[in-house]
Structure 1
């Protein structure tokens, strides 16, 4: 099996489309279908299943083989990087995963700096929930991610701390308090973010032997802000998660001060490419424990 065949399978997993994968690799859809059939015949097993209802999805063995294929491409990239470095060049690819706020706050500036310093490097970005970014790292779908704890057996590099605050409607009784503690929130209708944010909130309440009264769970902070404007509850978030507060939304700090760590994460820090290391070092230079 050659590199082109391995790359084709990986591109199909990324695009979930024979046609789109073919476009990336300059192949026609019939050629992609023939190539996949050849690969499956060589391996003696079915990797990909297609049907009208579910589209393209990988079999169980196909998912496991995908991890191996991604690792092979990663190792081949390191060879290319070593050869390029010998010639005084910087080349490579970095696939970055980040949750929504991180994409907004960090990624644009990082990409601009990377393009200025390393014009030969190619950056790909995938945006998802914190849990999804962690899942991508374990599957070797991405090279590096920006996450919040827990870290789930990943190698992490501290980036910065972000202070927790409570958002509420200005008519809410808690707004009369200068500061708020977790026991103050007992019994309040809480709007909580999903996809990795909720665990720290539950942990904070557990420290006081309390259970948060979760009224709604949501994917995006914008949804919580709109609900707060209607007096439907309060939410706990971080200062850097908010660009500006809309009308009828105010905040109070939690006391004692509570912070959420923001980390860079890789699957194995001793097995990253030069391109991934360049991304990490650039990010640390721009943001490590700095106010933004």
Structure 2
């Protein structure tokens, strides 16, 4: 059975079972079209048409059922061809990157600028969320790539490739006493109203765990998904903030100060993620390598192969 046979079957039905008209549309001889239909019937072991002499007068019950499947198969074949054409156009298409606000705001701009310069015809979308949302979008095929910490709970169908580690800092107003300490401890931080990440962020969980291990209960007065929001309230004197080191810019954040506290909290590993069953366009590989040069196409393909073998 071939797609051509199915195409002839549909054409005959579309021309009200008139073999002559169907043959003209298909640019084939009428005997040739009849032969293809007969061959298909022989292969299937059933008749598709009710005949009166050489005329086709109706579809059989089997013919009606097979016609529906044939139309779907031809439609799917057309879709496959369309996908092939899209993927052969290596410098145009769509790319959706799921990430956190912190990375969209502080890490990705240079990568995105370089990518758009190289691929001006690619429609790039950024989708922001917390690590669990991001992982679920990737696993569900709603985004092509992710740049974020690992989700709080494992998500199936996900490949995570480590890129780098984020350290922690404390942000405070310039005259805050925590900035004057020779060495900051968890107990020192716990004495002050605190602003930190939302509970759905991996960094918040790690921060909370360190206080718990020390037997301390910090007074968290506010949580946020956006580091810029956290900085705004630090500037207002609401409290100190524990944040990722990348969010502090001495020039833009001149009204607050930063203190390194990487000795108090474990680093947060940032990953590039993709679905195990995804097919990455060439420009998606380039985006990954622009973001993290060690993640070459060879490295990413090796990760895909390892994920498949582990199943």
Into which bin does the TM-score normalised by the smaller protein fall? 0.5 to 0.7
2:269 is the alignment partner of 1:261:
yes
Q: Structure 2 vs 1, CA of residues 138 and 287 (structure 1 numbering), >3 Å: closer, same or farther?
A: closer
2:277 is the alignment partner of 1:273:
no
2:252 is the alignment partner of 1:220:
no
* RMSD (Å) for aligned C-alpha atoms: 3.2
Which residue of 1 is the match for residue 206 of structure 2?
200
How many angstroms apart in 2 are the aligned matches of 1:231 and 1:121? 44
Q: Structure 2 vs 1, CA of residues 171 and 108 (structure 1 numbering), >3 Å: closer, same or farther?
A: closer
* Correspondences of 1:46-195 after superposition (within 5 Å): 79-80=83-84, 84=88, 89-119=90-120, 121-150=122-151, 152-153=154-155, 154-194=158-198, 195=200
Structure 2, unaligned runs of 5 or more: 1-75, 297-311
Q: Structure 2 vs 1, CA of residues 117 and 253 (structure 1 numbering), >3 Å: closer, same or farther?
A: same
Q: Structure 2 vs 1, CA of residues 128 and 211 (structure 1 numbering), >3 Å: closer, same or farther?
A: same
How many angstroms apart in 2 are the aligned matches of 1:255 and 1:105? 19
Equivalent residues of 2:194, 2:219 under 8 A apart: yes
Equivalent residues of 1:110, 1:286 under 8 A apart: no
2:291 is the alignment partner of 1:283:
yes
TM-score (norm 1): 0.61
Which residue of 2 is the match for residue 230 of structure 1?
236
Number of residue pairs matched by the alignment: 211
Shift of 1:283: 1.7
How many angstroms apart in 2 are the aligned matches of 1:224 and 1:214? 12
Task: Tell me the alpha carbon deviations over residues 237-261 of structure 1, each in whole angstroms, 9 at most, x when there is no partner.
Answer: 1221223363542221115264222
SS at match of 1:209: coil
Which residue of 2 is the match for residue 63 of structure 1?
none
Structure 1, unaligned runs of 5 or more: 1-71
Which residue of 1 is the match for residue 55 of structure 2?
none
Shift of 1:285: 2.2
Equivalent residues of 1:160, 1:287 under 8 A apart: no
How many angstroms apart in 2 are the aligned matches of 1:97 and 1:250? 30
SS at match of 1:112: helix
Equivalent residues of 2:102, 2:227 under 8 A apart: no
TM-score (norm 2): 0.57
Equivalent residues of 2:116, 2:122 under 8 A apart: yes
Larger Rg over CA atoms: 2
Equivalent residues of 1:78, 1:273 under 8 A apart: no
Shift of 1:171: 2.8
Q: Structure 2 vs 1, CA of residues 111 and 223 (structure 1 numbering), >3 Å: closer, same or farther?
A: closer
